[in-house]
Amino acid sequence: MRIHHQCPLYYSLFLFLLATAILISPSHGYLGKCNPSDYKALMNIKKSLSPYEFSWELNSWVQNTDCCDWHGVICDDKSNCVAGLSILGGEISGQIPSSVGDLPYLVSLSFRNIKNITGSVPQSITKLKHLIRLDLSYLSLSGPVPNFLNQLTALNFLDLSYNQISGSIPPNLSDLKHIRTIQLDGNELTGSIPELFGKFTGTVPELYLSRNKLTGPIPKSLGALGYREINLSRNKLTWDASILFNPNHSSTTFIDLSRNQFEFDFTNVKFPKDLNWLDISHNKIFGGIPEEIKDLESLEMLKVGYNRLCGKIPTGGNMERFKSTSFFHNKCL
Ligand SMILES: *[C@@H]1O[C@H](CO)[C@@H](O)[C@H](O)[C@H]1NC(C)=O
Ligand SMILES: *[C@@H]1O[C@H](CO)[C@@H](O)[C@H](O)[C@H]1NC(C)=O
Ligand SMILES: *[C@@H]1O[C@H](CO)[C@@H](O)[C@H](O)[C@H]1NC(C)=O
Ligand SMILES: *[C@@H]1O[C@H](CO)[C@@H](O)[C@H](O)[C@H]1NC(C)=O
């Protein structure tokens, strides 16, 4: 991981002062390459996450040692600023420390798989203008998806999956020009998918919204964008999802609409040609299965079971790949 900035501090002046301090007081430690202001922020983070005896990362954060050598900390090799922080698992409790906002050159921040991390995302992270990757998944975060995440203008990857986050999805996540992946699956989100999710100004992100409590129809705007992967499984979405099938969107490879309350005619759906995974099972979809499905050479997963489909299952082409379980429990297939 590389960023091309120098730490904004008078680093050499500090080193000089530090060296002086070491000379004067031999008990004083030595921070090595560690940027002193980053060191201070990391120490504050550690303090707010105590007790940390069972954290592999935090246990290595020993006072007056070089933070660039600590577990879970990555320093940029040019500027020596802290560019990556990841605490993965371990038995620690508390909230995500607001001091993470005091690591201004952070590019990647992960707290993952720590059941006793509660509370919400601190607003201080909006200070992290270089943050590209934010992974706060498999924690116990609650409250809404923060409505300030759109201020993380460099963000490319956002993962808040498997928490207890509630409320509706902030539409202005679509401001994120560089976002490529949005994972909000496995939460308690309500409301509908924002209309603005059909208006991402930059790249169209992969969208994972499964296992929530989203309701309402899919906004028409979503049909205009070629989502590469979209997973809406296990929500309470209704009406027409046929707009997600657009043959002009050659990048679409993965569509999972399973376990919702979608209700539309499947007969005239036109598939993107590189579709690889299609799961529309457990809905109220009616009509027939379009003959063209057998020409989708990349299709490896097909589930249309538990719907109200009728008519003949297409044969030939790739259809040999799919067993009868793919078509289970329909009205008159
Ligand atoms: C989580 O917190 C609860 C209550 O404070 C505590 O009893 C439990 O030991 C903690 N678990 C872990 C894995 O830290
Ligand atoms: C983003 O949207 C939320 C509401 O969803 C709003 O409260 C917030 O002010 C918006 N943020 C910006 C920067 O526009
Ligand atoms: C889509 O989401 C559902 C529900 O979480 C999950 O079972 C399924 O595996 C997901 N599909 C992929 C390819 O990740
Ligand atoms: C696909 O593109 C063609 C040609 O630009 C256009 O006529 C057609 O309406 C498009 N189809 C859809 C479903 O958007």
Domain-located, residue 29: no
Q: Is 222 helix (H, G, I), strand (E, B) or coil?
A: helix
Domain-located, residue 210: yes
The total of structural domains in the chain comes to: 1
Does residue 172's CB lie within 6 angstroms of at least one atom of ligand 2? yes
Domain extent for 131:
35-326
Does residue 118's CB lie within 6 angstroms of at least one atom of ligand 1? no
Domain-located, residue 193: yes
Ligand 1 atom at shortest distance from the alpha carbon of 115: 13
Per the CB < 8 A criterion, the answer to whether 244 and 270 are in contact is: no
How many CA atoms, within 13 angstroms, populate the side-chain half-sphere of residue 298? Answer: 13
pLDDT of residue 149: 96
Q: Which residues contact 289 (CB under 8 A, 6 or more apart)?
A: 266, 304, 309, 311, 312, 313, 314, 333
Q: Please, what are the averages of pLDDT over each run of 10 residues along the chain (333 residues)? A: 49 47 46 92 92 84 93 94 95 94 97 95 96 98 96 96 97 94 98 93 91 96 89 96 90 95 95 94 96 93 96 90 91 84
Does residue 256's CB lie within 6 angstroms of at least one atom of ligand 3? yes
Ligand 3 atom at shortest distance from the alpha carbon of 229: 13
CA of 172 to the centre of ligand 2 (A): 6
Does residue 233's CB lie within 6 angstroms of at least one atom of ligand 3? yes
Write the CATH number for 177: 3.80.10.10
Domain-located, residue 19: no
CA of 93 to the centre of ligand 1 (A): 7
Domain-located, residue 40: yes
Domain-located, residue 130: yes
Could you tell me the pTM of the whole model?
Answer: 0.89
Domain-located, residue 300: yes
Domain-located, residue 85: yes
Q: Identify each DSSP E strand in 72-168 by its residue range.
A: 73-75, 82-88, 94-95, 108-112, 117-118, 133-135, 157-159, 166-167
pLDDT of residue 289: 95
